[in-house]
Amino acid sequence: MKQKKPKNDRALRFYNQVLGLDHLHYGIWNEDDELTIANLKIAQQRYEDLIVDAIPDGVTTILDVGCGTGELSKRLANAGYQVEGLSPDINQKDLYSIKTNGRPFHFYRFEEFKPTLRYDCIIMSESGQYIPIEMLFTTAALVLNPGGFLINIDYFVLDNADGVLGKSGHNLNRYISEADNNNFTMIIDNDITAKIVKTLDFSKQLVERGFIAFDIATEKFRYKHPIITKIINYLIRRKKQKINDEMILLNSKKFTEVKKYILFMFQFQNKT
Ligand SMILES: C[S@@+](CC[C@H](N)C(=O)[O-])C[C@H]1O[C@@H](n2cnc3c(N)ncnc32)[C@H](O)[C@@H]1O
């Protein structure tokens, strides 16, 4: 298969370099947590704890797929695991090496990865949704030792989802049947939707405040140059409409109607 262009994900750089987040995933919130960046960081730590606690005894080698900033790998390496990272994002390549003190990094999309060794466990923390569903388990089967584990924590789309809400995330039923068809037996199915949705409320608040800040910053210009403002508004009208339409992605009520956020663990049994 032809190697695709490396990714350079600006949204992830924003979370990391602007918001100062080490984790690029949702968080697990307490009911009474206020929507603050400090609480988001604590919530993301709880999410990471959930993953680490799920790793079965006896696992020594781990492939951290879509390893982001390398934060989870750093923790796993410190805990004594032989961890390696994989990501198609050029910015994450150097970061990973610094974070993990030079642990091996594979600069690939998972679906294009040709492993030279097999691992006891694969972890996909909010990265599985980017891997084409028909390649996810077939590639995982090439990467894992027989009896190895796949931990995938992510959101999944229900059959009733439509519009922009239905566009990101794998269809839950399709995902489960692909796992079954490829000899992956489900061991953990932990629905954490109710605990993660505050991440959306926090993001929505952040975006709305960004709009207000933009409004304040441009107020003088708009007052002084009404005609130019009209022209600019006309030129960017489609972009504005798209942003408005996509605000539904941050609506936590809608999210719970059409998506589920789940920690899955599967065990791979090679039956051939
Ligand atoms: C939302 S971030 C999650 C990062 C990290 N796992 C975490 O939990 O903080 C998604 C990650 O998936 C990676 N990714 C995107 N497409 C991928 C693919 N086809 N194969 C492997 N990783 C991919 C991105 O580069 C990024 O590292």
Query: Whose Cα sits closest to atom 15 in ligand 1?
Result: 130
Q: What's the pLDDT score for residue 106?
A: 96
For the Cβ of 65 lying below 6 angstroms from any atom of ligand 1, the answer is yes
Q: 111 and 140 in contact (C-beta within 8 Å)?
A: no
DSSP single-letter state for residue 124 = E
Token pair for 200: 């959306």
134 to 33, 66, 128, 174, 187: CA distances (angstroms): 39, 17, 12, 10, 21
Q: 103 and 43 in contact (C-beta within 8 Å)?
A: no
CA of 132, closest atom in ligand 1: 19
Name the E strands within 87-223.
105-106, 119-125, 144-157, 170-171, 184-191
CA of 127, closest atom in ligand 1: 12
Nearest C-alpha neighbor of 139 from the set 63, 55, 60: 63
| Count of C-beta atoms within a 10 Å radius of residue 22 | 17
CA of 123, closest atom in ligand 1: 6
Q: What's the pLDDT score for residue 74?
A: 97
Across the chain, which has 272 residues, the per-10-residue mean pLDDT values are: 49 67 89 92 96 98 95 97 95 89 95 96 97 97 97 95 87 97 97 95 87 85 86 84 82 93 95 63
Query: Whose Cα sits closest to atom 24 in ligand 1?
Result: 66
Residue 180 DSSP SS3: helix
Kindly list the structural domains of the chain, giving each domain's residue range(s) and its CATH number in brackets, ordered by start.
Answer: 10-197+258-268 (3.40.50.150), 200-250 (no CATH)
Query: Whose Cα sits closest to atom 9 in ligand 1?
Result: 24
Q: What's the pLDDT score for residue 243?
A: 81
- Backbone phi, psi, residue 168, to 5°: -110, 140
